[in-house]
Amino acid sequence: MALEIKIPAVGESITEVTIAKWLKQDGDAVKRDEVIAELESDKATFELPAEADGVLKIRVAEGETIGIGTVIADLDGVAAGAAPAPAAAPAAAPAAAPAADPIAKGEENPAASDQAGYGGKPEGGAAPAAAPDAAPAAGGGSVEMKIPAVGESITEVTVAKWLKEDGAQVSRDEVIAELESDKATFELPAEAAGTLRHAVKEGETISIGAVIARIEGGSGAAAPAPAAAAPAAAAPVAALASAPAAGGAATYATGVPSPAAGKILGEKGIAAGDVAGTGRDGRITKEDAQNAQAKPAAPAPTAAPAAAAPAASPAAAPAAGGSREVRRERMSNLRKTVARRLVTVKNETAMLTTFNEVNMQPIMDLRNKFKDKFKEKNGVGLGFMSFFTKAVCIALKEWPAVNAQIDGTDIVYSDFADISIAVSAPKGLVVPVIRNAEQLSFEGIEKEVMRLAGLARDNKLTIEQMSGGTFTITNGGVFGSMLSTPIINAPQSAILGMHNIIQRPIAENGQVVIRPMMYLALSYDHRIIDGRESVSFLVRVKELLEDPTRMMFGV
C-alpha cells in the first residue's frame, strides 16, 4: 500500500512552504523518521522526516512553493500498520511491524524526532524487536506538554535550558525548562506531577503548539523490553545500545549521528568518530555535524633528493603561517530578529542623522558635588542617563513630532514619553522601556535604569517590558565610540546616540580651554520630522545638558 506524505502545520501564521532541497531521490528506499526533505518558510527552515519505511515517490519538484497540507510524495510498499501511530497507544503491535517509539507516540511534531535522536533509528540500522509500548504504571496516564502561545507575533521558540533531567520526578507547576524566543525568555512549568520525558533536545527550535515533553503519571512507565542489536553489516554508523535507559526512552551509543547529521558528515567527508556529540547520550546532532571540521591531512613524506638538479623553476610560495580554521554558528532567534528589523528600518524609512556636541563639565561638576549624598539617600548612583533622559523628555514636549509615529496614513502623537534604553545583554541588544519617564525624578529614572539593566543581564525581560517605547536613547560611549549614526528603533521616529567623553580644546569667551566634550547624534525619520524640528530638538537637549539647572526650573 502507498502512504501519502503531506506538508505538516509548522506555525500559526505560516500557510505555505518551499521545498528547499530533497535529501532523498525519487525511488530511494527510506526508513521511518529518516529526513527526506528540507522545507523553507518565510521565517524558518524545517526538516521533513519519513512517516514509515518504504520507497519514496516524489510528486513536487525541488524549489516549488506549496500550501500546508499538500501531498508532496508517496511511500510505496508501506506495510499495513506501519503508518504513524495515533495519539492513543495501540493495545498491541503485530510481530512484523517496527516497535513504536517509546517517546514519539503522538507525532504532533514530526520534525522534532530527527536532530535530537528521540525517536528514529540510525540511518540504515535494523528496526528494534517488535514490542508494544509499555503502559504507564498504575495510578496515572501520560500528559503531553506542548509549547504554549507566548505572544502574538511569536511562532517558534528555542529550548534554552532543561532545568529538569529526562526521567526526573517533577511536581505540578514546577519549572522544568527555559524557553527563548526572538524577544524574551520564558519559564515552562509542569502541567502535572510525574516522571518527565524530554521530546526535544536542549537548543532545538520548535513551533508553538509542538510537543516538548511528556509527563508519565505515578512513578513512571515500566521499562520496555531491550532493543535487538542491529546487524553489523547493515549499519553504516554505530549500533544502538543494547538496552534502553530505565524509564522507557531508547539510549543511543556515543558517536551515533542523526540521519541529517550523517548526511552532512558524509558530504564533508568526516568520520563520525572524529566528531564529539552534544546530543543525548553523546549522539551527534545536525548542529554538531555543521560545526565539524575535517582534520588536516598528514604531511606527505619528504621525497628523496634527485640525482641531478632539475631545471630552474619559480620558487614555491611560502605556506601561510598560523591557524586557518573557521567556525560556523547558528544565529540565535534574537540576532535574526534584530538583523531583520534593522534592514527593514533602513529600507522603509527616510533616515537622516544630525549632530551636535555638548560640554559635559557642568554635569560632571554637579555629579561630583552631590553623588555621595545622592547614593547615601537613594541607594543608587547618580549617572549620566538620568540627565539625558530628563533633557530628552523636556525637549519632546516642545517638539512633539520627534515623539510621534507613522501608522499607515496617520501620524500618532503621544503626550507621554516612554523612553527606550538600549542595553547590551549577553544574548544581544535589547531595548527595555522606562514608562512615563517625564513624570520621574532623577532618583526614579536611575532606579528604573538599574532595574531594567539587571533584568536584561539575567535574560528575564518580558515582551511587555520591551514594547511600546516612543523614543530611544543609546550609549555607544560606554564601549569607546566617538561618533556614530544610530538606527531608528521602529516604529519610533527618532533615536539619540550618546558617545564617549573626550578632553578637547574649545573656544570660550575668546579663550581656548580644555573641556570634556561629547558628540550627540540624532537619527530621525525625515518623512515625519523636518530638519527644523530635528535640529531644534537636539539644540534644546544641548542647552539643558550644558546648564542642568534649567531642568530643575523647567526653563
CB 100 within 8 A of CB 91: no
The cell numbers describing 118, all together, are 528521540
Is 499 one of the annotated active-site residues of the chain? no
Is 526 one of the annotated active-site residues of the chain? yes
The DSSP code sequence of 486-541 is PPP-TT-SEEEEE--EEEEEEEETTEEEEEEEEEEEEEEETTTS-HHHHHHHHHHH
CA distance 432 to 383: 18
Q: Sort 95 into a burial class: Cβ within 10 Å, 0-12 / 13-18 / 19+.
A: exposed
Taking CA atoms, 416 is separated from 88, 406, 407, 454, 545, in Å, by 55, 16, 18, 25, 21
Beta bridge partners of 504: 515
Q: How many CB atoms lie within 10 A of CB 87?
A: 11
The one catalytic residue among 76, 173, 365, 530: 530
Q: Indicate the residue type of 431.
A: V
Q: Sort 337 into a burial class: Cβ within 10 Å, 0-12 / 13-18 / 19+.
A: middle
CA atoms in the 13 A half-sphere facing the CB of 399 = 22
Q: Report which of 16, 20, 96 is spatially closest to residue 62, judged by C-alpha positions.
A: 20
Helix intervals (H) in 251-295: 259-268, 286-291
CA distance 513 to 68: 70
The cell numbers describing 220, all together, are 513512571
Q: Report which of 546, 151, 180, 123 is spatially closest to residue 333, judged by C-alpha positions.
A: 180
Q: Report which of 493, 521, 337, 342 is spatially closest to residue 428, judged by C-alpha positions.
A: 337
CA distance 225 to 131: 7
The one catalytic residue among 173, 274, 458, 526: 526
What is the CA 497 to chain-centroid distance, rounded?
Answer: 27
List, by residue number, the catalytic residues.
526, 530
